[in-house]
Chains A and B, each alone.
Chain A
């Protein structure tokens, strides 16, 4: 409880007739909260370490030359889980500690709060993801003879991680319980692709590949011939899912009691 009181005083201090718009103040508040909350730095470092580490490990396992060149960015599969934790905790922690009522007392307009969180989470994840993907690219260049860094898969992977973070934030806002939220997100990230992979009915398989968030989003990494969905179009599908999750979160946030 002591932590909550400290946070309370901080928030009331910064929300005195302060300069700037509501949005600006919301941004600054969210930035301060996320930056100072214990674990954020560790999670950002874990995004980098996990992504680069897994990419390098897979590249080393593949150096015999039996894999396609796009395995260089496999680490994103692990990085996305850490990104999801960061995003879920950004709002889930407030729900589970009761901090959120305090936040909403200071910021009675709820949408700016969510937008502020989304912007701050997106910015932090973008920075970490850029470093992580760069690390993976370097590992691929060193370990995979067949690999040549290209712009689209690398930049697309950074955007992919940002979208996954926002998707997680939307889901966590809607679900409220952090554990249930991370369960839902991880189901989307890991279980759905596995289920899609065993659907052999060609029509349904293609539909799932094209329109499920992860398979479509990861199309941006593809370098092989003739993927089911174009790289940017695939990322667009993920962006739509993200938008839907954020909208659902926003509507529920506005309508229900915190």
Chain B
């Protein structure tokens, strides 16, 4: 305890270190509150206001599709054969090429109404992901894989919706079932078709990015029948969510119980976008300040020979190392949390006021961003402290720490192809930047979830574990050497 107090006194009485601490917090705040982005939301009158569509789960969703439907009451089931699913992809103004988006969807849906964002459950054939059951935008369950014609069935019993698929119309496999709270007695039931934006990666010089455009899917359906309590043949077509993305979407064609339906848009969570992560960009500069602090706090002892006095006063060397780590880790953690709290709360307001359509972040995630930023800085500083003890040279320790923590991230967001970038962010200390990912990545939405826009290959806490692992390793090596060698 007395060693801890001694180290704390050493820390706060050196003016440069206190200034460094202030710099850690200050740099995060300066860059987090300076609007580096602007958008067009609300900048051209009230009509340009960006009102995000929020789904039942509280996240931003897309809800745009062609719906051939009718209101049906109580329990019942609906069956159809999807004979084919074909598509077109935008290839420059006025041009298109044949091609099916991997997540083009055609199938059956039961939805509480025609309002975008309302609760639903659906069974569908997809472009290249087989049969899927999806509900309430964020949920996705795989059914039979394989292409070719498929029979689909959707049944409702109370608030439970069950989906099934069959290759021939006689042997049925249940894909899944779910409870839809808030599904009214009379729900809209019918066929739906949609096809999302597709994107491809490009690499140009030192820049990576994605480009894409809308796509169109056309499904042909046969033998649409409502049964087991449901009945009716008065199907009519609506474009849910307004005009489809594809400018010249053909009208629905009906011949008895056979349909040809075209659609463009998506039903699911919003893909990659700008999120609260954007406000934490100052972390990179703060990280360097924290690393300098950590390295110097140790190596100064060697420079002036103070270490001899320190170890004479506290001869148990590992306690000294632990006390130093606790002081520098604690100080940078508190700085990081406080500064991140300020920028996450106010930085998002600045961006929104600047017209940026920011993805919604839940409060729990915001707390994780704050604590995570603190942990990222604290572990980095302690890693640098360990390197300082190991190398006994502050300049080398600082550089090694920065090169292993920041350089992988820089390479990942600039030159490396996405796959190599993800690999690098799995095992280097830069993995811990995953703590700052604000919005989830959904496999059922194709998008470029690149590190550059705040998507990381590891989950937040796994990313922290990688950095913590490196820190423990270095600190352990430093402890061994500190015990063994002369000072």
Contacts and interface: CB of A to CB of B under 8 A. Distances in A.
A77 B411 contact: yes
Contact of B399 (A180, A186, A225): A186
Interface residues of B, number: 46
Interface stretch (B241-249, B285-293, B318-326, B361-369): B285-293
Interface string A191-208: 101110111110010000
Given A77-B407, A198-B278, A204-B36, A85 B395 contact: yes
Given A81-B407, A199-B36, A227-B205, A179 B398 contact: yes
Interface in B385-428: 394-396, 398-399, 402-403, 406-407, 409-411, 413-417, 420, 423
Nearest to A204: B36
A179 B296 contact: yes
B303 interface: yes
Contacts of B204: 68, 224-225
A200 B37 contact: yes
B284 interface: yes
Contacts of A178: 394-395
A81 B420 contact: no
A66 B201 contact: yes
A40 interface: no
A177 B17 CA distance: 12
B292 to A, nearest CB: 4
Given A198-B281, A224-B205, A186 B398 contact: yes
A183 interface: yes
A81 B413 CA distance: 18
B399 A182 contact: yes
B23 to A, nearest CB: 9
A71 B421 CA distance: 14
B288 A187 contact: yes
A224 B38 CA distance: 27
A62 B36 CA distance: 31
Contact of A194 (B203, B289, B409): B409
B312 interface: no
B206 interface: yes
Contacts of A67: 203, 415-417
Interface string A157-190: 0000000000000000000011111110011001
The 3 closest A-B pairs by CB, nearest first: A224-B205, A183-B292, A61-B420
17 contacts: A58-B411, A61-B420, A66-B203, A74-B415, A182-B399, A183-B288, A190-B402, A190-B406, A191-B285, A194-B410, A195-B284, A197-B452, A198-B37, A200-B37, A224-B204, A224-B206, A225-B205
Given A68-B203, A78-B403, A183-B288, 4 more contacts: A58-B420, A74-B411, A97-B303, A180-B16
